[in-house]
Structure 1
């Protein structure tokens, strides 16, 4: 780690630039994760994909990264997809793997060496990072020295008890986000019962102005030097926002297929023709199965008729290219909700021909 002196009175957000000074970011991981003798996860840890995506955003922009955790050493990750390109790259990167195997202990960190902190999510932070005294001091100190604080998914749990010199909570009066109550309900059932609090509720309780997008869509909230991302698909944009806040010139965006797919769904909500054109012109940039499942998730968790109708329209477009009984039944449910029983029956008729004998489709047909 290289010492960086932040001269008094000079803000990272000032007009002065430091072309010859390399920025330093501390990436924080939970130490809560634990596996049994069969290497099965028995306590949740950090989100590997959030580490790897953010790590390479910082590295690509010439930012030096230091990994740290409450216990130091090698923390345990939640289960993850080793074939994802960002994870595969990290697993072949000897320097990155060495850093992960030898994370610094948080209580040994010299905050004067860092321009920013990025807290990686995963369920683990809900158990250890929110109450780690050294981390709270690190975050408060770097923020009050005009540094940049970023966190994604459950990472903002590390912020909920951080107080500044004036006694106010860091998040008080600031726009923030994190893994939402709706996302917990949809995806967090395994560990949710053990959580000490719900992240969205606690951020609001601490005076945060909570912002959110629909379930598992990309949302990044920037309030000055506090930058928070809603879920794993917000990781890259959260890290890029930090790069910008650190006054490092942003390079052109490089989208991973999963993030691109989420953004294509979001584009479909505002410009269906353009979204379909992009999908047709560059199909390799997107995961059709994932696009279908995003639509299914949105229909199942919709809070507005627009979400239902838009997602149903996208599923109709996808269905001839990628079909599955879950897609068929979800589409039928959407048509029922929209008061279009004839179209629901058309969808189910297609499904029973495509998947003869499927019990879920037959059961839905019988309910009419």
Structure 2
């Protein structure tokens, strides 16, 4: 399946900037999304948008897409991308043609799986010697344990094998790699930023995108992880404006990859922010063990 959250967020960036969207899939017809929360505002808005739902329920087959009719292609992620898109030669041809006619190519999360086998007219891989990112090995091992062994390859490894200059940020924080007209994003949190970068690449001045509560909260986390110790103050002083339970869960996972005293200190601070909202004995125990480790 594909990630409905990523589709919804990207779609509204494009729609709000006056960009007409068509939808394609390997077989065409109705496409299946991975499990998602239909009550999230951006998903709920898509579900009542009759025009785009009609296109989702009757997608174009990739072998019927006329690349000359498009200025850009955007590939959403989801586990299905890892199974279907690397073998979709029709999609690869569309991507290569759009890129070579000076169009823009963008993909997010597992979406860059569509790029691993794309070759240009000179026989080189599209991603070779270009700044690229995608869902990382670290994220896969932390969040993809249920399906990781079913993949034919790790996406980060395959992109690097194809000659890409792979770059990334911390787990689940927004990161966009821009190399001319090739734009890639690391994870679902990166979706709005990737879509906005694509709008810019088309020569448009994007309107301000409304961030979801999750993305707004993780943007604060990113500032804190980058070294801004005061970044957490809004979460503490105005908890109703953020998703503090999300912060606590992030701290829990950040702890799993902690190596340095600073990592442990930051993990602890994040878990403490979310402790009350989570009210979870497992988080309480992790907090206590981390405090003990740090001698607090």
Contact 2:109–2:185, Cα closer than 8 Å, also in 1: yes
Q: For residues 1-368 of structure 1, what are the structure 2 equivalents within 5 Å?
A: 45-269=1-225, 270-276=227-233, 278-280=234-236, 282-320=238-276, 322-338=278-294, 340=295, 343=296
Equivalenced residues, count: 295
* Superimposed CA distance per residue, residues 189-232 of structure 1 (whole angstroms, 9 cap, x where no aligned partner): 22211111110100010001111112211111111111111111
More helix by share: 2
Contact 1:215–1:301, Cα closer than 8 Å, also in 2: no
* Superimposed CA distance per residue, residues 65-100 of structure 1 (whole angstroms, 9 cap, x where no aligned partner): 000001101111111111111111111111121110
- Residue 314 of structure 1: how far off its partner (Å): 2.9
- Residue 282 of structure 1: how far off its partner (Å): 4.4
Q: Structure 1's 281 and 93: CA in aligned 2 closer, same or farther, altered over 3 A?
A: farther
- Residue 333 of structure 1: how far off its partner (Å): 3.2
Q: Over aligned residue pairs, what C-alpha RMSD do you find?
A: 1.5
Separation (CA, whole Å) in 1 of partners of 2:125 and 2:134: 16
Q: Structure 1's 322 and 186: CA in aligned 2 closer, same or farther, altered over 3 A?
A: closer
Separation (CA, whole Å) in 1 of partners of 2:265 and 2:208: 34
The alignment partner of 2:146 has SS state of: helix
Separation (CA, whole Å) in 2 of partners of 1:64 and 1:285: 33
* Superimposed CA distance per residue, residues 153-209 of structure 1 (whole angstroms, 9 cap, x where no aligned partner): 100000000011111101111111111111111111222111111101000100011
Separation (CA, whole Å) in 2 of partners of 1:67 and 1:283: 38
Which of the pair has more CA radius of gyration?
A: 1
Q: TM-score, normalised by structure 1?
A: 0.77
The alignment partner of 1:221 has SS state of: strand
Contact 1:312–1:334, Cα closer than 8 Å, also in 2: yes
| Runs ≥4 residues deviating over 6 A | none
The alignment partner of 2:174 has SS state of: coil
- Residue 121 of structure 1: how far off its partner (Å): 0.3
The alignment partner of 1:127 has SS state of: helix
Contact 2:221–2:231, Cα closer than 8 Å, also in 1: no
Q: TM-score, normalised by structure 2?
A: 0.95
* Superimposed CA distance per residue, residues 111-165 of structure 1 (whole angstroms, 9 cap, x where no aligned partner): 0111111001000011111111111111111111111110001000000000111
Q: Structure 1's 255 and 285: CA in aligned 2 closer, same or farther, altered over 3 A?
A: farther
- Residue 279 of structure 1: how far off its partner (Å): 2.5
Q: Structure 1's 161 and 303: CA in aligned 2 closer, same or farther, altered over 3 A?
A: farther
Contact 2:249–2:271, Cα closer than 8 Å, also in 1: no
Q: Which moved more, 1:89-98 or 1:197-206?
A: 89-98
Separation (CA, whole Å) in 1 of partners of 2:178 and 2:260: 26
Gaps of 5+ in 1: 1-44, 344-368
